[in-house]
Amino acid sequence: MTKIEDGRNIEIKTPEDYLPVVNPEVFETKKGLVYLQSPGVAVISVPRVDLRGIQGFLDGFPEELEFGDFLKDPTPLPSAETLCKFAGQLCYESFGPNRTVNEYAVKYFENIMESGHGSVLEHANVTMLWWGISRSLTHELVRHRAGFGFSQVSQRYVGGKTLRFVERPEYAGDPYLHKLFEDRIDRTALEYEALTDYLVNKQKGGTEILSAESKTDLRKKVRQAARSLLPNETEAPIVVTANIRAWRHFLNMRCSEHAETEIRRAAFETYRCLYRLAPIIFGDFEVVHLPDGTHGLTTLFPKV
């Protein structure tokens, strides 16, 4: 592994008023079937923190403690870091003049990392949309349970024209494997369409196992049978919500050089977005360049 200095600063093309987003290129086979070669990541929700409501709480303490000036800190922090820092300081009612002010927030969070007291990081949640990822990747992703929530595209309800595929980097870089991939997904899409049409006709003919009362259930009965031929390289968009502590654990696991290549690429794009949102909390990660051309992460604080 080779450490690099600029990996976290690789450009993320984001309009100023957008949350971070990484948009992958979209490709088509000669027959017009859509596929992607890299993951897309869009941050769609972050904490909205407004501490003004705590002023009455602070004013209720003896005046000599000077808690009332807590909100006058002149140094702003990103919302996730503001929330986590306040939660941590509440544990010690550290609101007076001797508290760690925002100017020294780096020192504050370094102490959190070194002590391993990461529970305060669980207050801040970040939600992302991932796309350009395969069904095999999401099977690994949903194993992350503590602190995570998932909503994934359902192949029982979705199919047909929205069907897309994901090409692995091993295939994209090899002309022979790339052609096999394009031929395979074209063939798969045709077989899926033909199977769906056949099942619809059987359904109209009164086949009991395909029967249902509503139109939605009728479509579901067909697609749940037809999806059995879809390969692992079928695209599986997913909305992922996790707290900051859980995201750190995810990055430690999935940006490791030992992680599977596809999920490591998605994890690294996720890191780039998270670093933009909370540069102090994610500032201990160091970017490394791996032999397979992908990026990984290392940190002195793998368990927080």
b or e along 152-176 (b: 16 or more beta carbons within 10 Å of the residue's beta carbon)? ebebeeebeeebbbbbbeebeeeee
Better pLDDT: 9 or 270: 270
DSSP lists the bridge partners of residue 164 as: none
What does residue 74 show for φ and ψ, rounded to 5 degrees? -80, -10
Q: Give tens-digit pLDDT for 173-200.
A: 999 999 999 999 999 999 999 988 888 8
Model confidence over 134-178: pLDDT tens digits? 999 999 999 999 999 999 999 888 878 899 999 999 999 999 999
Rounded Cα distance between 128 and 234, Å, is: 20
CA angle 248, 113, 122 (to 5 degrees): 50
Catalytic positions: 254
The candidate with the shortest Cα–Cα distance to 37, out of 171, 183, 189, 180, is 171
For a pLDDT cut of 70, what percent of the chain falls above it? 94
Is the predicted pLDDT of residue 90 greater than 70, yes or no? yes
Judge whether residue 108 has pLDDT over 50: yes
Domain ranges for the chain: 2-46+126-298, 55-123
pLDDT at 158: 83
Q: How confident is the model at residue 205 (pLDDT cuts 50, 70, 90)?
A: confident
Query: Does 74 have pLDDT greater than 90?
Result: yes
What pTM value is reported for the model?
0.90
Least confident of 3-12, 14-23, 66-75: 3-12
Closest CA to 262 of 302, 288, 294, 298: 294
Give me the percent of the chain exceeding a pLDDT of 90.
Answer: 79
Closest to 22 (Cα-Cα) out of 260, 295, 209, 280: 295
What is the per-residue pLDDT for 170? 94
**How would residue 218 be classed by pLDDT, with cut points 50, 70 and 90?**
confident
Cα distance from N-terminal residue to C-terminal residue, the chain? 24
Fold of 2-46+126-298: Alpha-Beta Plaits (3.30.70)
Average pLDDT over residues 5-23: 63
Average confidence score pLDDT of the chain: 92
How far is the C-alpha of 281 from the C-alpha of 146, rounded, in Å? 19
